[in-house]
């Protein structure tokens, strides 16, 4: 006996991940030191920020371009006086990937992992090790089965709801912001040594062809102290920015804006009454739109009478969701000096560069571990010549992820079958499952627990989760 049925198909457009790769790039730059080539030079600290200007796929590969901004603290000639140098170095990196095509969308980010500096013959060489996180997405169209209709007594179907996400760049713009700040006399600061900044988007407005973006740039300025031997002074300042981008927004798209402070400059001037800090920052904003939709597709079907149905299945990788969140946490790290290092008299400055090596989602938190590159500049006891200590310390941190609730578009029930899966009926709530099922009589599936026993076990789990949440808030 044959089974007659009618299949419904729909051609859907979606993105799939074509490439995910991590690359490391070493960038080196040089700068000429002022003064004599014979002067003794000690490099105390090198900090750096990396920026991607362009990342695009080519036939069989990818090209990434950007620049690195270096800030170095050093002594030259007079070893008691800390000097500063800033310089910028461009970089370009190419990778081979036969699966890439020019029309693919590239999502790439760059972070500084390590820095170092050396000086010789009147020149300073600065190096930075960069970590590149690269993804490439292919937009594809595919006819997929959305339903199967036939004899209701013979045909059984199982449907699945699939989320699709398509992201497209909508444009970018730059703006220059300037601001002046009065520095309190109690800070006792001198000249500016260096300045860095981070930009953040606060609000998106408008529509119908134009999007307005506003936000702030947090600028951190390192100052020389007025009195030699006192600690360096770091001040923080906020500069508001506004700009607009002309763009056509796809219907139903969620708009995301990313801001970067790609160049920051600062200087200060003093008179008899006050010291005024002048800050200038160049901000770049990139706009993208994500269109998300859901479709119900046929997952499986079988017949309960007549000929057996053996569907031919094909697996598709689908880019289903895209979301980002900025969170900040603090941590304390003990730094041990070498046995032969002079004891610390006065701490002048400290810098830290984190590198996350692993991140694990755990419910409403993100557990991260990595390495912190720490530079400590200090005056030894009974000495006015600054010294630097560099250390790489492992760390572990926990970040709250409140966005986890919004990421779920519908409740999820997670249960594994059989005796080995019995624990998931008790503990799956900790991983986001919303429901468990207990039996009041005969079990209808392997591994089911009696409702009373399940209630007691869940009560224990709830108390454990409550204690963990309280400890997390306390710490």
**pLDDT above 90: percentage of residues in the chain:** 46
Confidence at 402, pLDDT banded by 50, 70, 90? low
pLDDT at 268 over 70: yes
| Residue whose structure tokens are 């039996």 | 439
Round to whole Å and give the CA distance between 188 and 270. 11
Q: What is the mean pLDDT of residues 393-414?
A: 66
Angle ∠(20,127,224) on CA atoms, nearest 5: 120
Nearest to 233 by CA among 175, 180, 193: 193
| Helix (H), strand (E) at residue 470 | helix 451-474
Predicted confidence (pLDDT) per residue in 362-396, tens digit: 777 888 899 999 999 999 998 999 999 999 999 88
Q: Which two tokens stand for residue 347?
A: 């701490």
Q: What is the mean pLDDT of residues 186-195?
A: 91
Q: Give the per-residue pLDDT at 47.
A: 94
Q: Give the per-residue pLDDT at 152.
A: 67
pLDDT at 431 over 80: no
Round to whole Å and give the CA distance between 168 and 253. 10
Q: CA dihedral defined by 415, 419, 423, 424, rounded to 10 degrees?
A: -10
SS3 (DSSP) at 329 = coil
The residues facing 239 across adjacent strands are 217
Q: Which two tokens stand for residue 155?
A: 């045909």
pLDDT at 397 over 70: yes
Q: What is the mean pLDDT of residues 22-27?
A: 94
In this structure, how many other beta carbons lie within 10 angstroms of the beta carbon of residue 353? Answer: 19
Predicted confidence (pLDDT) per residue in 98-112, tens digit: 999 999 999 999 999
Q: Give the per-residue pLDDT at 181.
A: 95
Q: Which two tokens stand for residue 292?
A: 């998300």
Residue 215's Cβ-count burial label (10 Å; 0-12, 13-18, 19+) is: buried
Nearest to 259 by CA among 210, 196, 198: 198
Find out whether 54 and 67 touch, Cβ atoms under 8 Å.
no
Q: Give the per-residue pLDDT at 127.
A: 96
Most confident of 79-83, 398-402, 414-418: 79-83
Centroid of chain to Cα 224: 32
DSSP class of 341: S
pLDDT at 160 over 70: yes
Higher pLDDT among residues 463 and 233, named by residue = 233
CA end-to-end span of the chain: 68
Q: Give the per-residue pLDDT at 473.
A: 42
Lowest mean pLDDT among 182-191, 255-264, 437-446: 437-446
pTM for the predicted model, two decimal places: 0.75
| Residue whose structure tokens are 């299949």 | 7
Predicted confidence (pLDDT) per residue in 313-364, tens digit: 777 777 776 666 677 788 888 888 888 889 999 999 999 988 888 888 777 7
Round to whole Å and give the CA distance between 95 and 82. 40
339-349 burial code (b ≥16 CB/10 A, e <16): eeeeeeeeebb
Q: Give the per-residue pLDDT at 408.
A: 43
13 phi and psi angles, rounded to 5 deg: -110, 125
Residue 173's Cβ-count burial label (10 Å; 0-12, 13-18, 19+) is: middle
Q: Which two tokens stand for residue 271?
A: 């008179």
Q: Give the per-residue pLDDT at 419.
A: 73
Q: What is the mean pLDDT of residues 399-414?
A: 58
Confidence at 409, pLDDT banded by 50, 70, 90? very low
Round to whole Å and give the CA distance between 168 and 104. 10
Q: Give the per-residue pLDDT at 366.
A: 82
Q: Which two tokens stand for residue 50?
A: 């990396």
């Amino acid at each position: 006996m044959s089974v007659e049925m009618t299949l419904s198909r729909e051609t859907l457009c979606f993105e799939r991940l074509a490439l995910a790769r991590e690359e490391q790039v070493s960038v080196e730059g040089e700068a000429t030191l002022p003064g004599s080539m014979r002067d003794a030079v000690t490099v105390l600290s090198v900090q750096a920020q990396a920026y991607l200007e362009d990342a695009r796929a080519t036939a069989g590969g990818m090209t990434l371009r950007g620049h690195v901004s270096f800030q170095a603290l050093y002594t030259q000639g007079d070893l008691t006086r800390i000097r500063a140098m800033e310089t910028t170095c461009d970089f370009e990196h190419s990778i081979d990937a036969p699966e890439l095509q020019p029309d693919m969308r590239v999502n790439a980010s760059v972070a500084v992992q390590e820095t170092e500096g050396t000086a010789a013959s009147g020149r300073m060489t600065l190096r930075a090790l960069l970590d590149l996180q690269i993804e490439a997405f292919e937009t594809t169209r595919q006819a997929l089965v959305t339903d199967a209709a036939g004899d209701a007594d013979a045909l059984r179907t199982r449907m699945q709801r699939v989320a699709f996400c398509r992201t497209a760049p909508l444009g970018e713009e730059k703006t220059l912001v300037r601001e002046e700040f009065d520095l309190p006399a109690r800070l006792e600061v001198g000249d500016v040594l260096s300045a860095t900044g981070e930009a953040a988007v606060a609000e998106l407005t408008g529509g119908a062809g134009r999007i307005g973006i506003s936000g702030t740039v947090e600028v951190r300025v390192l100052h020389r102290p007025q009195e030699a031997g006192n600690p360096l002074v770091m001040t923080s300042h906020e500069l508001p920015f506004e700009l607009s981008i002309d763009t056509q927004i796809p219907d139903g798209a969620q708009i995301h804006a990313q801001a970067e402070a790609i160049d920051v400059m600062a200087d200060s001037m003093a008179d008899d009454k006050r010291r005024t800090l002048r800050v200038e920052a160049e901000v770049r904003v990139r706009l993208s739109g994500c269109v998300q939709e859901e479709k119900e597709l046929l997952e499986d079907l079988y017949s309960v009478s007549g000929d057996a149905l053996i569907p031919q299945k094909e697996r598709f990788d689908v880019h289903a969701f895209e979301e980002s969140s900025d969170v900040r946490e603090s941590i304390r790290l003990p730094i041990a000096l070498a046995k032969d290092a002079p004891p610390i008299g006065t701490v002048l400055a400290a810098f830290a560069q984190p590198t996350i090596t692993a991140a694990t989602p755990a419910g409403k938190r993100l557990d991260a571990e990595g390495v912190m590159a720490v530079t400590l500049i200090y005056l030894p006891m009974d000495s006015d010549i600054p010294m630097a200590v560099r250390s790489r310390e492992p760390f572990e941190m926990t970040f709250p992820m409140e966005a986890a609730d919004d990421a779920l578009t519908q409740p999820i029930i997670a249960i594994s079958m059989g005796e080995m899966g019995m624990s998931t009926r008790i503990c799956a709530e900790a991983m986001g499952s919303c429901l468990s099922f207990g039996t009041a009589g005969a079990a209808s599936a392997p591994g089911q627990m009696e409702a009373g026993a399940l209630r007691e076990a869940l009560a224990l789990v709830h108390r454990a989760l409550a204690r963990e949440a309280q400890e997390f808030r306390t710490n």
